[in-house]
Amino acid sequence: MLAEFALMLAFAADALERPQIFAPGVISAPVTATAPTFFPDARSLVFEQDGGGKRRLMTAQMTKEGWSDPTEMILGGEWFYIEPALAADGSYLLVASNRDPKGAARALDGNWNGQIQPGRGGALWRVEKTASGWSTPHALSDRINAGNSSFEPALTRDGTLYFMRPGADGKFHILRAMAKDGDYDTPHEMPFTKTGISDVDPAVSPDERLIIFSSSRGSNKRLDLYVSFRVGNDWSEPKPLSPRINSGHSIIEPHFSPDAATLYYTQDHVIWTTSMDSVLSEVSKDSPSP
């Protein structure tokens, strides 16, 4: 039985040797799809859709025929809610929104790359899963929503939060905040942060042993995917994923499947998927083991 299971895994890894479009025409439809986050059973997901200038969250379920037609998740108000991250047990969802956590009637203005971004600010909000649907969103603490441009939450199995926020240089950097007493401790920038370089869109494995993120640190200055491995309390120097993935246009919004066996990311307006076995096999051999 174990031999058959190993053969199945090897076949699956080989089948995903090259990235494939995820659910073409359904999830990856004519409008931009990104940021898929899955419930623990991997049979339901929440993702972001951007069409005609409208950014919204959508849900879909796996059926016998494949993924169902997506339906919009309504969280209330005129704000956008984007970049979903589900807790490991599916009990709550974190989202970014231009809704002001202080209660102002107008949308937050963002501020990054030395420019004001009218109506495009961001704060992180939590939404509870209930028997009847989703609760009213409530804002995370000022420690997380300092400033006006907190985006892209990612959660580990134990609830540790990763997200992005502009640093003193005006560039986005990735921060980490440990869960504490139903809230989060003071966040700290990741040790591989470099002044003047944008690191965005963190995807962290559930066991927090590796992080994949988009970064402009390459010589071409586009957003490519990089991986860093946790080494004790430190992190290894980020390395780019293979040219098979970093193959042209900028790549954003990497996300893991619940078991971290599959990587999803958005390029050219659609979501792509590939196995983590093939991703990691192509990372330089001098990287620490995941």
**Domains, the chain, ordered by start:** 33-281 (2.120.10.10)
In the chain, the amino acid numbered 166 is P
Average pLDDT of the chain, as a whole number: 90
pLDDT (0 to 100) of residue 17 = 64
pLDDT (0 to 100) of residue 12 = 43
3-class SS of residue 6: helix
Q: Which ranges constitute the DSSP H helices of the chain?
A: 2-15, 276-281
- pLDDT over 60 (residue 2): no
- pLDDT over 90 (residue 52): no
Mean pLDDT throughout 117-141? 94
What DSSP string describes 150-214?
-EEEEE-TT--EEEEEE-TTSSEEEEEE-EETTEE---EE-TT--TT--EEEEEE-TTSSEEEEE
Contact residues for 277 (Cβ-Cβ < 8 A; gap 6+): 9, 13, 261
Torsion of CA 83, 87, 92, 98, to 10 degrees: -20
- pLDDT over 80 (residue 98): yes
Per-residue pLDDT tens over the stretch 173-218: 999 999 988 789 999 999 999 999 999 999 999 999 999 999 999 8
d(CA 227, CA 16): 19
How would you class 59 by CB atoms within 10 Å of its CB: exposed for 0-12, middle for 13-18, buried for 19 or more? middle
Quick one: pLDDT band at residue 284, thresholds 50, 70, 90? low
Per-residue pLDDT tens over the stretch 226-278: 999 999 989 999 999 999 899 878 999 999 999 999 999 999 999 999 999 98
- pLDDT over 70 (residue 127): yes
pLDDT (0 to 100) of residue 219 = 77
